Amino acid sequence: MTDRIPATLVETIDPRSPIRLTPAQAGGVIHTRSFSGLFRNLRRYGAGALFLLFFGTAWLNWGGRQAVLWDLNESKFYIFGATFWPQDFILLSALLIICAFGLFCITVFAGRVWCGYSCPQSVWTWVFMWLERFTEGERNQRIKLDAAPWSVGKLLRRGAKHALWLAVSLVTALAFVGYFTPIRELTHELLSLELGLSSASWLFFFTAATYLNAGWLREKVCLHMCPYSRFQSVMFDDSTLLVTYDSARGEGRGPRRKDADHRAEGLGDCIDCTMCVQVCPTGIDIRDGLQLDCLSCGACIDACDTVMDKMGYARGLVRYTSERALAGGRTQWLRPRLLGYAAMLGLMIGAFGWGLQTRALVSLDVTKDRGLFRENGAGQIENIYRLKVINKTQEPRRYALSLVDAPPFALQGKRELLLAPGEILDLPVSVALVGRQAVSSSEPLRFEVVDLDDPAIRVSTASTFVSPIDR
> pLDDT tens string for the chain (471 positions)?
444 444 443 444 444 444 455 555 455 789 999 999 999 999 999 999 999 999 999 999 988 889 999 988 888 899 988 888 888 888 888 999 999 999 999 999 999 999 999 999 999 999 999 999 999 999 999 999 999 999 999 999 999 999 999 999 999 999 999 999 999 999 999 999 999 999 999 999 999 999 999 999 999 998 888 888 777 778 888 999 999 999 999 999 999 998 889 998 999 999 999 999 999 999 999 999 888 889 999 999 999 999 999 999 999 999 999 999 998 899 999 899 999 999 999 999 999 999 888 888 899 999 998 777 888 877 888 899 999 999 988 889 999 999 987 778 888 877 899 999 888 999 999 998 887 766 677 888 899 999 998 898 899 999 988 888 765
Q: Are residues 123 and 49 in the same domain?
A: yes
* pLDDT value of residue 460: 92
Q: Are residues 191 and 126 in the same domain?
A: yes
In a domain, 297, yes or no: yes
Between strands 76-79 and 458-466, the pairing is unpaired
Give how many domains the chain has, as a whole number: 2
Q: Are residues 454 and 324 in the same domain?
A: no
In a domain, 136, yes or no: yes
**Which CATH number characterizes residue 408's domain?**
2.60.40.10
Q: Are 294 and 309 in contact (CB under 8 A)?
A: no
Distance CA 308, CA 305 (A): 5
Q: Are residues 272 and 398 in the same domain?
A: no
Q: Are residues 158 and 306 in the same domain?
A: yes
Q: Are 144 and 324 in contact (CB under 8 A)?
A: no
Q: Are residues 414 and 303 in the same domain?
A: no
Q: Are residues 319 and 230 in the same domain?
A: yes
In a domain, 88, yes or no: no
In the listed set 275, 307, 328, which residue is the last one of a domain according to the structure? Answer: 328
Q: Are residues 165 and 28 in the same domain?
A: yes
Q: Are residues 370 and 320 in the same domain?
A: no
Q: Are 462 and 444 in contact (CB under 8 A)?
A: yes
Amino acid at residue number 244: T
In a domain, 74, yes or no: no
Q: Are residues 321 and 411 in the same domain?
A: no
In a domain, 233, yes or no: yes
In the listed set 328, 351, 373, which residue is the last one of a domain according to the structure? Answer: 328
Q: Are residues 378 and 307 in the same domain?
A: no
Q: Are residues 162 and 289 in the same domain?
A: yes
Cα pseudo-dihedral 197, 203, 204, 208, rounded to 10: 160
Cα separations (Å) of 116 from 95, 282, 288, 440?
Answer: 23, 11, 19, 67
Q: Structural domain of residue 185, as residue ranges?
A: 18-57+111-328
List, as one string, the DSSP characters of 372-394: --EE-TTS-EEEEEEEEEEE-SS
Which alpha helices (H) appear in 178-294, and where do they start and end? 183-191, 197-210, 219-220, 228-231, 247-250, 275-278
In a domain, 65, yes or no: no
Q: Are 409 and 434 in contact (CB under 8 A)?
A: yes
Distance CA 109, CA 236 (A): 8
In a domain, 192, yes or no: yes
Select from 112, 38, 46 the least CA-distant residue to 316: 38
In a domain, 175, yes or no: yes
In the listed set 270, 305, 328, which residue is the last one of a domain according to the structure? Answer: 328
Q: Which strand (E) or helix (H) includes residue 303?
A: helix 299-311
